Structure 1
């Protein structure tokens, strides 16, 4: 069945990975979105138009990450890809640790899924498998695909995930700087081996973090402690490290968002967010844009456009 002429609307949330101790495992979907319209055409080409974040910077042909991910999804399910025109309005900042590349990968996969509706059945495992292969690891793509708080792991049968619903009192606050940091650069600072005591420390905090996120937000400060990755990466983003230290000195559960340099604060109620934002505005060494967000529970959505 030809998909030419079909048109779909795609919406994908930003994500924050690691959440402190849950390195390469935990991820949270946030209410900041990239939104796209994708049309299947009979022309043998892919064209992309971008407004918002990335306009004038990202590729506008089949090498665009959304486009290449859509084409890879058609190939993965052994379907002939049509030409496509992609209109993207992006809000997720690039290179800030909020899952922009994962969102682009998921957007392309969701677009292909929508265009192939009625022809190919996509299971959650299939979606996560394609996304993880394209992105390299599942901790960002899992919450982008499915929403909520996700635990992601890779076993003998490939990447898997568990979606959890955080306590309604968990109130995310994100601080976004003007500077960027590549995930590759952040990973280069990570040591191959870590002390046994630090590994045990993070195992305990990761377990505590799941409990805090689901039923005991008052434990979030202790649950977000980390010894596996944040200190090693601090030299690449000293302002982030200093601002996290400022926030934590005042009792706020602040962590590096993903690979950074943005900061995620998992506040225990909306009032705490206002106080944290005022603290950073008044005392941080550099300007930060504060975004008071909600947990996104839907993940990527795709709907047909008549």
Structure 2
């Protein structure tokens, strides 16, 4: 790999980004609670001196699904970042090693957006640390809401929402005694389709129950794991999406019947659970045909490294 400088300002030829997958909603925290998972994509962007073509190489998840040209989501997001923060558009080669499953509710799109913006920051501000507040603001605007995007930027667990054009974000202090499980199926569900089945109105009793559960969720994640089963109970989205992912929804019900705080991860169809080892143990003993079970740690936020 060449280490010749692209320009005096940049003083680099390669940027490397590691970005976590995420789970959103966590049951009751619809569109506002996200958790980073230690399932990471690793990407390298080699900058070339002067104008020219961009090439894209993808290995791993989605390798035969994503575009290999300028329409790749990482590159589209990079261009948004350069428009926000300045910086010269180089000819470049993007190399992606993808480990986050696509169309499974594990935040692959948000992670691609955050990765592209991290590259843009590295080009526009060589030598400066990532401004995570800026990355959160721009990635949330592109992604549509800050749950997945905020978790991918900061890591850990976050509570985030829009206040007008501003993003408000609270980082939750989840103790080391809390773990996670994911059950990943072979089938996919697109986010757009999963959103299209949600009703515009819900019964008042469901809205009240959701408000109670979502109010308890940050407390349960930080200090009261005994509340997690109740705090992850959902009335707004999971049941409405059940027919799009019946095996996943049935698995959630089976896990919750055993006392496991289980939910649909994001728009699905991955099943996610969070809790103490004692709370998660019954799920480890459950046979879930058609699902691959993993136990990722709660992940860190996006990392940018300059090589050369």
Q: TM-score range by the shorter chain?
A: over 0.9
Q: In 2, Cα distance between the equivalents of 1:182 and 1:84?
A: 30
Is 1:149 matched with 2:157? Answer: yes
SS at match of 1:25: strand
Instruction: Quote the offset at 1:2 in angstroms.
Output: 4.4
Superposed, 1:101-120 pairs within 5 Å as 101-118=109-126
Q: Is the 8 A contact 2:36 2:298 kept in 1?
A: yes
What residue is the counterpart of 2:23 in the other structure? 16
Residue 288 of structure 1 corresponds to: 291
Q: Return the offset for 1:240.
A: 0.9
Structure 1, unmatched stretches of 5+, are none
Q: Which moved more, 1:68-77 or 1:101-110?
A: 68-77
Query: Aligned to 2:198, which of 190, 195, 210?
Result: 190
- Counting matched residue pairs gives 300
Aligned to 1:100: 108
Offset of residue 66 of structure 1: 0.8
- Give, in angstroms, the shift of residue 45 of structure 1: 2.2
**Local SS of the residue matching 2:249:** helix
Once the two structures are superposed, residues 238-271 of structure 1 have per-residue CA deviations (whole angstroms, 9 ceiling, x without a partner) of: 11111111111111111000000000011312x5
Aligned to 1:159: 167
Report the counterpart of residue 33 of structure 1 in structure 2: 40
* Structure 2 segments unaligned to the other structure (5+ residues): 1-7
Using the size of structure 2 for normalisation, the TM-score is 0.92
Shift >6 Å, 4+ stretches: none
State how 1:1-306 maps to structure 2 within 5 Å. 2-3=9-10, 5-42=12-49, 43-118=51-126, 123-269=131-277, 272-279=279-286, 281=287, 284=288, 286-296=289-299, 298-306=300-308
Alignment RMSD (CA, Å): 1.7
Find the aligned partners of 2:305 and 2:12 in 1 and give their Cα distance.
14
TM-score, normalised relative to structure 1: 0.93
What is the Cα deviation at residue 158 of structure 1?
Answer: 1.8
The alpha-carbon deviation at position 37 of structure 1 amounts to: 1.1
